Amino acid sequence: MTMTSSHTSGKVLRTQYQASVAEYWNAEKDPVNIKLGEVDGLFHHHYGIGDYDPSVLEGPEETRDQRVIEEMHRLETAQADVLLDHLGPVGPEDRIMDTGSGRGGTSFMANQRFGCHVDGVSISEKQVAFGNEQAEERGVSDKVRFHFRNMLDTGFPSGSLRASWNNESTMYVDLFELFAEHARLLEYGGRYVTITGCYNDVTGGRSKAVSRIDEHYTCNIHARSQYFKAMAANNLVPISVVDLTGPTIPYWELRAQSSVATGIEEPFLTAYKEGSFHYLLIAADRV
């Protein structure tokens, strides 16, 4: 029996807020995501880390834009590599999950690296369809699949995953609910990794710049402390915490000078430089 689309989305999208987030991503055709993905077919929905090559801003004006786009894409791919570096040992028979998988960039990189099964989960039906088309084109649809599911209630079997992650998608959900679901999905000793932007408890509350980021992306950035509280409450024990704030600033400085700038670059740079916002990687083991 096939369920109608509206019935299915009613089960996946629990709240009006989730419906509005799904609507945003279903309609999203931002050049900052599309143009960069067209460089090599890996479509990311996250930011970059590392120093950029200043020579991309020099040289012939007519090819400058493409050079900048390619360099931004390189930095975003480097970010995904750092996340995958922290997943621990993953074998070809293991199952891992990309929750909030976007158009699938990190999922395909994980499959390329480990040869494992990857399930991507998104509340955007457009993103899911895009990812599955890409899996077919790449010839990996037997190993990489995308699903229209809610990351707080994925429906996958308990203890079925070797590893799971969120790459810049935790700010759309309640962390306690999210980590409860990851803990349920992971086998004992399984690894969870997130890269995320979080506001600094020390500076107290959301700064003006952080509030502008929330507004721009219809998200709800969490305090740094909330990540560790929610992990501790759900049997996830941090093994590694890496502050990527410094390494992400060059990416934003380059993006501000690109044709795909959206105007949100200034709040990110302000928030990072004033210390009210951090870009963190947290890796934790399921115990």
- pLDDT tens digit string along 106-117? 999 999 999 999
Residue 13 has pLDDT above 60, yes or no: yes
What pLDDT was estimated at residue 26? Answer: 83
d(CA 41, CA 108): 10
Q: pLDDT tier at 2 (50, 70, 90 boundaries)? A: very low
Using the structure block, give the residue that is written with the tokens 């509206």: 6
> pLDDT value at position 31?
63
The pLDDT score that the predictor gives to residue 6 is 39
Q: Which residue has the higher pLDDT, 208 or 6?
A: 208
Instruction: Specify the 3-state DSSP secondary structure of 255.
Output: helix
**Angle 125-138/16-27 helices, nearest 10 degrees?**
50
Of 127, 60, 100, 64, give the one whose Cα is nearest residue 193: 100
**Residues 14-55 pLDDT 10s:** 899 899 888 888 887 766 667 777 878 888 989 999 999 999
Per-residue pLDDT, 104: 94
DSSP state of 100: S
Report pLDDT for 5: 39
- Strand segments, DSSP code E, in 200-273 are 236-243
- pLDDT reported for residue 48: 97
The two structure tokens encoding residue 187: 């086998």
Q: Model's pTM, two decimal places?
A: 0.93
The position carrying tokens 């400085």 is: 253
Which amino acid, residue 197? G
Torsion of CA 104, 106, 109, 113, to 10 degrees: -130
Q: Which two tokens stand for residue 40?
A: 């090599």
- CA distances to 146, 147, 201, 257 from 155, in Å: 13, 10, 34, 43
Contact between residue 149 and residue 12 where contact means Cβ atoms under 8 Å apart: yes
User: Which pLDDT belongs to residue 3?
Assistant: 35
Q: Please give the Cα distance from 181 to 153 (Å, whole number).
A: 7
Is the confidence at residue 8, as pLDDT, over 70?
Answer: no
182 and 155 in contact (C-beta within 8 Å)? no
pLDDT in tens, 46-95: 999 999 999 999 978 889 999 999 999 999 999 999 999 999 999 999 99
- Mean of per-residue pLDDT scores for the chain: 93
* Partners of 120 in the β-ladder: 98, 146
- CA dist 233 and 167 (Å) reads 21
- Which among 169, 143, 120 is positioned nearest to 18, based on CA atoms? 169
pLDDT more than 90, % of the chain? 82
Amino acid type, 281: L
Mind listing the pLDDT tens digit for each residue in 226-250?
999 999 999 999 999 999 999 999 9
d(CA 61, CA 69) in angstroms, rounded, equals 14
Q: What's the pLDDT tens digit per position in 209-227?
A: 999 999 999 899 999 999 9
Full set of structural domains in the chain with CATH = 13-286 (3.40.50.150)
Which long-range contacts link 129-132 to residues 24+ away (Cβ below 8 Å)? 130/43, 130/103, 130/104, 131/101, 131/102, 131/103, 131/104, 131/107
